[in-house]
Amino acid sequence: MEVEAVEIQKKYPGKTVLNGVSFSARAGSCVGIVGSNGSGKSTLLSILAGVRRADGGAFLCDGEDLLRRPGMIPKVLGYVPQADPLMEELTAWDNLRMWCDKETIKKSLSHGALKLLGVDGFLRTPVHRMSGGMKKRLSIGCAVVSDPKLLLLDEPSAALDPVCKESIRCYLEAYKKEGGVILMVTHDAQDLELCDDCYILKGGGLYPYQYDGDFHKLAAALCEKNF
């Protein structure tokens, strides 16, 4: 799958959040987007996921503009928002059942994404009794159980312990290897190591950044006025 965002624009009254954002990603790659708080990273992701409307631009997946054909979005991509999109009173199984049939879940639990994420270990646990790491893995599981080719992640490792981060990272590497495209908004250095391309979102514009593992340099770049 080839993914390309073209001149995406979003304005709120008195504020331009995205001013012609463009990037591209090829199959089996991961794109990381960093930026300071309130720079519009989550807004960009939610526009690409079809949650919010863009004021202009296109989001092409294999040539199809998903912003013009929002009905295709659920088939093409999986979206994991920053907060966990789960029903607290229900079990992991019940939450997964919202998004696909029993057979698909069972298949995924035996040798698919849910197995890799370790969801089988807490399948009957109600969400309100889960740890933050379990919830995040389940959230990703809900997004990928129907096997989308593009995955949008909004800060997937925020406030997670190292073991959980590693578990998610292992899964995302496997996802990439299978030809999936990951678009990730993050503040985490470990997450960025997974990314093939890195961009900085600043002042409504998206700028390529060569991340070399030096997080301090990245922080300095974010602070720089004329980046």
Partner 1 sequence: MVRMAAYFLAQLKRARKLAPAQLAASFLICACAGALVYLLVAQGVLDAGGTRYRIGMVGDLSDSYLGFGIAALQEMDDSRFMIELVGMSEAEAEDAFARGELYAVMRVPEGLMDAVVSGENDSLITYTPAEGQKGLGTMVMGEITGIASTLVTSSQSAIFAMQRVLIEEGRVDEVNRATDRLNLSLINLVLSRNGFGEVEILGYADGLSMKLYYFCSVFLLLLLFAGLMNCAFFARRSMALARFLKARGVGAFGQILGEYLAYLGLVFLGLFSLSLPMAFLLERERIGIPEWEGMGAFPFWGFLRTLFPVVLMFAAMQFFLFEAAEGMVNGILLQFLCGAGMGYLAGYFYPAAFFPERMRMIGGFLPTGAAARYVEEGLFGGASAGAATAVFVYLAGFFALAVLVRKRRIGRE
Site for partner 1 contains 150 (CB under 8 A): no
Instruction: Locate 22 and state its tokens.
Output: 């463009």
116/138 with CB nearer partner 1: 138
CA-based max dimension of the chain? 53
84/188 with CB nearer partner 1: 84
> Is residue 208 packed enough to be buried (19+ CB in 10 Å), middle (13-18) or exposed (0-12)?
exposed
128/217 with CB nearer partner 1: 128
12/227 with CB nearer partner 1: 12
Site for partner 1 contains 158 (CB under 8 A): no
Tell me what percent of the chain is helix, strand and coil, each rounded to the nearest 5: 40, 25, 35
Using the rule CB under 8 A, which residue among 3, 21, 41, 46 binds partner 1?
Answer: 46
* Distance set, CA 1 to CA 27, 91, 113 (Å): 5, 33, 19
CA distance 175 to 188: 19
Q: Work out whether strand 3-12 and strand 15-25 pair parallel, antiparallel, or are unpaired.
A: antiparallel
Number of residues that bind partner 1 (CB under 8 A): 33
Q: Interface mask (CB under 8 A) for partner 1, residues 57-96, using x and -?
A: --------------x-xx--x-xxxxxxxxxxxx---xx-
What is the binding site for partner 1 (CB under 8 A)? 12, 17, 43, 46, 49-53, 71, 73-74, 77, 79-90, 94-95, 97-99, 128, 142-143
